Chains A and B, each alone.
Chain A
Amino acid sequence: MKGKTANVGIVIVSHSPLVAKGTADMVRQMVGDSVPLSWCGGNPEGGLGTNAMGILSAIEAAWSDHGVAVFVDLGGAETNSEMAIEMLGEPRSGMVAICNAPIVEGAVIAAAEASGGASLAKVVATAEELSPS
């Protein structure tokens, strides 16, 4: 269903593979296969850290022509996600958004919104409502 789904994709990026996979499991439990979903956790050696190439692969795996929402935990995850999005190149880089939201709650609520066919802007806005402004 790569690229063909009508629903926005969700990518989860954590310093920890366990956190990333665990969050993805919770998203899957909520929305099943109705939303393209992928995760990336850990540095290139599998330890705690982040990995631009792995994030790029995760975005490709969860690709939707309706856009992809990315959830990150700490600083390096965000910086490396921004780098990965740039590496996607135009115009696809403009269809990926990093959400300013708590990673677990944000990803689950965003996926629920996405499973109903909401736009990327709506998915992002719903997740970001969780963050104190």
Chain B
Amino acid sequence: MQTDRELVLGLIEACHEAIVIHADDLCELDRAIGDGDHGTNMRRGCEAVYLDRKRLCSLPLPQAIETIGMTLVMSVGGAAGPLYGTLLIEIGRRLGARENEADFATILGEAVDAVARRGRAHAGDKTLLDVLYPVQTEMVRQSALINIAKRAEVSAQLTADMKAMRGRASFLGDRSIGHVDPGASSCALLTTAICRYLKEYRPA
């Protein structure tokens, strides 16, 4: 079994790599229906976390996750900062609450609800929530990591059929239909990177 230190470091590196490799693709998706900066914003956030990885991996897991969330809020430079930041801050706080014996799927569910409140968005609005909710459902079902990753990728693709109701893409109305949402796409990339890392280094 890995220590928290190895786990935090491994996950930071896996997420950083996934975003750096796909930053241009995310910008391309965002250029179609938004302001074109989702990839550079996410890369800026992941670089900030990556540069701080030595300190972060010395923290207990809940505190590391919460601190990573705060770093994303400070560094991303777009709406994705508060959204991903809220997700991680809420997960970290709930994991850290001693009296909280809830399983991770429940904690994730509460954190995703907090993201929905932060963005005043719902399922089907063509946002990262359209990946987070299905991922949480798979976790409740205790699905295999590979199936969680697959569900995330399929869910991101399904946002192409949706009409954007929140964010810059909502200004396009029906013209937003036919394009994958950049936030949903980055969320699927990160989910896949996390699942792949856990499968490789933490065989269940």
Contact = CB atoms under 8 A, between A and B. Distances in A.
Contacts of B82: 52, 79-80, 82-83
Query: What is the predominant secondary structure among interface residues of chain B facing chain A?
Result: helix
A50 B76 CA distance: 9
A70 to B, nearest CB: 15
Question: Chain A's interface: helix, strand, loop or mixed, by majority?
Answer: loop
Contact of A53 (B74, B78, B86, B167): B74
For chain B, give the interface size range: 20 to 34
Interface stretch (A3-11, A19-27, A40-48): A40-48
Contacts of B6: none
A74 B41 contact: no
B73 A52 contact: yes
B75 interface: yes
B168 interface: yes
B54 interface: no
A102 interface: no
A48 B37 contact: yes
A49 B168 contact: no
Interface in A24-74: 42-45, 47-53, 74
B37 A49 contact: yes
Interface residues of A, number: 19
A74 B34 CA distance: 12
B77 A44 contact: yes
B74 A76 contact: no
B73 A49 contact: no
Interface in B70-98: 73-75, 77-79, 81-83, 85-86
Interface string A94-110: 00000000000000000
B10 interface: no
B118 A79 contact: yes
A80 to B, nearest CB: 6
Contacts of A44: 44, 74-75, 77
Contacts of A15: 35
Given A43-B41, A75-B167, A83-B85, A49 B74 contact: no
Contacts of B166: 75
A75 B77 contact: no
B119 interface: yes
17 contacts: A42-B77, A43-B44, A44-B74, A45-B44, A49-B77, A49-B78, A50-B77, A50-B78, A50-B79, A51-B77, A75-B79, A75-B166, A75-B167, A75-B168, A79-B118, A80-B79, A83-B82
Interface of A: 15, 42-45, 47-53, 74-76, 79-80, 82-83
Interface of B: 35, 37, 41, 44, 73-75, 77-79, 81-83, 85-86, 118-119, 166-168
Closest 3 CB pairs of A and B: A43-B77, A76-B79, A49-B77
